A and B are shown apart, each in its own frame.
Chain A
Amino acid sequence: MALTEDRPLALPSGGSDDGYTPTGVFTRPTAETGVRSWFTTVDHKKIGIMYGAAAIFFLIIGGSEALLIRMQLWAPRGTLLSANLYNQVYTMHGTTMVFLVVMPIGAAFANYLIPLQIGARDVAFPRINAFSFWAFLFGGVFINSSWLLGGGADGGWFMYAPNSGVIFSPTHGIDFWNLGLIITGIASLTGAVNLIVTVLNMRAPGMTLMRMPIFTWMALVSQFLLLFAIPVLTSAQVLLMLDRGFHANFFNVSKGANPLLWEHLFWIFGHPEVYLMILPAFGLVSDILPTFARKPIFGYPFIVFSGIAIGFMGWGVWAHHMFVSGIGPISVTTFSLTTMFIAVPTGVKILNWTATMWGGKLKFSSPMLFSIGLVTMFTIGGLSGVMHSVAPMDSQQTDTYFIVAHFHYVLFGGAFFGFVGGFYFYWPKAFGYMLNESLGKANFWLMLLGFNLTFAPMHVLGLQGMSRRIYTYDPGYGFEFWNKVATIGAFTLASSIALFVFNIFYSRAKAKNLPPVGPDPWDARTIEWMIPSPTPAYNFDPIPTVTRVDDFWYRKYGETKDGKLVRIASTAEVAQQRTDGKGIHLPSPSYWPLVLAFGLPIAAYGLIFSLWLALVGAIIVVGAIYGWVMEPPDDPDKAHDDHGPDAHVSDGGDAAVPETVDAVKEVETVG
């Protein structure tokens, strides 16, 4: 990794910038603080924080859309939204929540935590990392700009053909949806390559794959799912784009097209997608539960391999979304069986978490509460999921509110609870102050209450036969009561999110009068807790040498012969001190990722409105790529260009590598 230099190299702010402009356009940015530093940063921590902030921004948009839906359904014959507008609102709600909230929060944690958990200074390609974020943000803004330019997409978040064709959806909403998601897809794909390379290549000495914290493992699996699932969606979206924009015949039934093509491609992407959304949350919980149970995770290899198994099996179950589409009895039976099997590795995880808590000295801090919330709520969602593997039952429930209840239990009750737990857990590490515990607990109970009030009644509504995606219902079918409960629940849920946002600002104001949190406020287990809070730019100084799972914990605690925990060192002794970071080489900031990402939505607007504009976008993209390539990855010392995306010095020969690293390599070839 050759990041520690023995000669004094400057930090990005080192001031040695001689105004060298590689392409005559920009001076190399050097700002380390202030607004400008955020636009040009390549620091994985700042990028992670921006992912999180953008996701919360989109959460507010998507949440408002959810509230509109619930207000419309408050009473029979609601008049708040027209049928047309209702179609747009639920489509954009689903799209926003999946692609612009849950996925980027996963990306936020993965970006922030993976380098810290494996003991690296940054990700493998820092500038590509910045590009991924900007492309995601611009893609998200692009999709939402459809509200101002003729209305949102109205085909449901899975946009089945032929409803997505120009004949059935003549506005540009679906074009915005389609092109915007191609852009966020590019972001996800580059991010996936980046993080996989980071995990495979940049681990600290002794950090073998089977010593990695479980969050890193689960994030790695979900990045692999992204790597392979995103191109499937992109290929489907290219077909849709050509159909809508250039009159191709992929979904044109009159020319013999088969609308099931879209359904298959979408769900081949879509099912791995749901697992890649939930796995990072599983990872967070697998790190939080042992911390607050003060016990190691029960069955580390089982948790890891069940995560990998979920990743693989997730590719063989997609057609269970299509049982009523007429794919035939053999296909239905096959996919029924595979769907039943995939419950096994998920069940293994639930067992492991329960067994981790069993007999532990449980401490119910906010992160722990949210984690237990995930375990319980996800189990409910998982059980209703297994019900859907039974094809006759699934046929009854397809497109009813029962399905809506199911996937909100897994995605909100599962993924989102885990993420909020992760926010409470890692807040002090990222920002240097704790979120208020009492507010946190109130936050949890309010969210749990609101969540169950909203989505539990939907099970009943679904079984009673209420269809999803219909903008209203008639009185007299018994839908009134539970719809009212769900709407009340939705507002309770919204207030719990508001409480969380309030807690951020409240705790920050209060923190000024409190002592600094220190590196390890939770008495935690993994190595990211041995560095100062908030994390310094250089992460670790020195890079720790890892000898086992939960390495940091075993620097603090030992065991007596009869298995009792004994404290062997105080946190202050084993934690790292904040240093001035001199002599640590970090990648330099750059404008090019921002410029490159900016070209993408311009080109996309062009594809919708005028091909001349698309040309402008394309010129920006191409120019930015050349600017990027010509810019040395690390400006302050031009000779030292060994870890940028386009340069590499392979000076390592195997001879110089000490034994422990050979051990790393052996594990490597297995993984």
Chain B
Amino acid sequence: MAESLTSRPTLAAADAQQANAHIDADTNTGISNTKLGMWLFLASECLLFGGLITTYLLYKHPLEGPTPHEIFDIPFTSTSSFVLLMSSLTMVLAVSAIERGEHQRMRVWIGATAVLGATFIAGQIYEFTVFVREGLGFTTSRFSSAFYTLTGFHGIHVTIGIIMLVSLVLLSLRGKIPEHRAETVEIVGLYWHFVDVVWVVIFAVVYLIPS
């Protein structure tokens, strides 16, 4: 222990001479702060949606009013699920485009993603109005409250995603997304894929599992 003392800088000023005192690698992990932050946020979102899905599973058998499988229109929901699934493809192609520096192509793919997302939301609104007309109001039963809350919460997430995508296109048109900030697109993409992944779970757990 004693001999190692001389070989290390003890004086504060010596730190400035250390070979690694001015490294330009920006982070310890090699991952940007923003991306790491987004992944942490998504990990935390698992617990949020988990709570709502659990609530749904607990309450899916109503005491009164329509039951899930009397009311679900599986072919319709399958179509809108498919639309959301394909929006993940267009999103990832947008990320791929901006990383090659193809701005116009990136904007087209992001636009396509936003349109697919909006189609999904339109489908959800249509689905909700049909359900309400068939007698499943928000306050009808424990099932209806849990169902609307879970799917509505997801719908809000998709809507926020669409707003972010549109903002990205506008920013890009103003030249605010040069290649070295391509990661912004990737990070919005992470959010978008996560929302899609949540719907993968909801589609199987809520819609497809027979009662």
A470 at the interface (CB under 8 A from B): no
Q: Are A200 and B28 in contact (CB-based, < 8 A)?
A: yes
Q: Say which one of A202-210, A287-295, A423-431, A459-467 lies at the interface with B.
A: A202-210
- Which residues of chain B in 12-53 are interfacial with respect to chain A, using CB atoms and an 8 Å cutoff? 12-13, 15-16, 18-37, 40-41, 43-45, 47-52
Q: Are B34 and A645 in contact (CB-based, < 8 A)?
A: yes
Tally of contacts, chain A with chain B, CB under 8 A: 211
Residue among B37, B43, B45 with the highest chain A CB neighbour number at 10 A:
B37
- Which residues of chain A in 183-229 are interfacial with respect to chain B, using CB atoms and an 8 Å cutoff? 189, 192-194, 196-197, 200-203, 205-206, 227-229
Q: Are A661 and B41 in contact (CB-based, < 8 A)?
A: no
Residue among A197, A234, A252 with the highest chain B CB neighbour number at 10 A:
A197
- Please judge, given known A-B contacts A194-B37, A257-B59, A530-B12, whether A228 and B47 are in contact too, CB under 8 Å: yes
- Please judge, given known A-B contacts A201-B31, A232-B51, A559-B2, whether A252 and B24 are in contact too, CB under 8 Å: no
Residue among B1, B29, B149, B184 with the highest chain A CB neighbour number at 10 A:
B29
- Which residues of chain B in 36-88 are interfacial with respect to chain A, using CB atoms and an 8 Å cutoff? 36-37, 40-41, 43-45, 47-52, 55, 58-59, 62-64
Residue among B16, B25, B36, B167 with the highest chain A CB neighbour number at 10 A:
B25
- Which residues of chain A in 349-403 are interfacial with respect to chain B, using CB atoms and an 8 Å cutoff? none
* A-side contacts of B162, CB under 8 Å: none
A124 contact from B23, B33, B153, Cβ within 8 A: B33
- Smallest Cβ distance from B66 to chain A, in angstroms? 14
Number of residues on chain B facing chain A (CB within 8 A): 62
* B-side contacts of A654, CB under 8 Å: 25, 30
- Which residues of chain B in 168-210 are interfacial with respect to chain A, using CB atoms and an 8 Å cutoff? 180-181, 183-184
With CB as the reference atom, state the residue of chain B lying closest to A236: B51
- Smallest Cβ distance from A3 to chain B, in angstroms? 9
- Which residues of chain A in 155-203 are interfacial with respect to chain B, using CB atoms and an 8 Å cutoff? 189, 192-194, 196-197, 200-203
* A-side contacts of B10, CB under 8 Å: 554-556, 568-569, 573-574
* B-side contacts of A545, CB under 8 Å: 9, 15, 18, 20-21
* A-side contacts of B138, CB under 8 Å: 246-248
- Please judge, given known A-B contacts A227-B44, A231-B45, whether A643 and B26 are in contact too, CB under 8 Å: yes
With CB as the reference atom, state the residue of chain B lying closest to A577: B12
Number of residues on chain A facing chain B (CB within 8 A): 83
With CB as the reference atom, state the residue of chain B lying closest to A199: B28
Q: Are B62 and A256 in contact (CB-based, < 8 A)?
A: yes
A74 at the interface (CB under 8 A from B): no
Bound form: Cα–Cα A650–B181 in Å: 9
B55 contact from A206, A239, A651, Cβ within 8 A: A239
A265 at the interface (CB under 8 A from B): yes
Q: Are A227 and B24 in contact (CB-based, < 8 A)?
A: no
Q: Are A544 and B12 in contact (CB-based, < 8 A)?
A: yes
* B-side contacts of A227, CB under 8 Å: 40, 43-44
- Please judge, given known A-B contacts A252-B142, A547-B8, whether A652 and B16 are in contact too, CB under 8 Å: no
Q: Are B51 and A231 in contact (CB-based, < 8 A)?
A: yes
B145 at the interface (CB under 8 A from A): yes
Binding site for A on B (CB under 8 A): 1-2, 5, 8-13, 15-16, 18-37, 40-41, 43-45, 47-52, 55, 58-59, 62-64, 138-139, 141-142, 144-146, 149, 153, 167, 180-181, 183-184
12 A-B pairs in the complex with CB atoms less than 8 angstroms apart: A2-B24, A193-B41, A227-B40, A227-B44, A236-B51, A247-B138, A249-B145, A255-B64, A569-B10, A645-B34, A648-B26, A658-B19
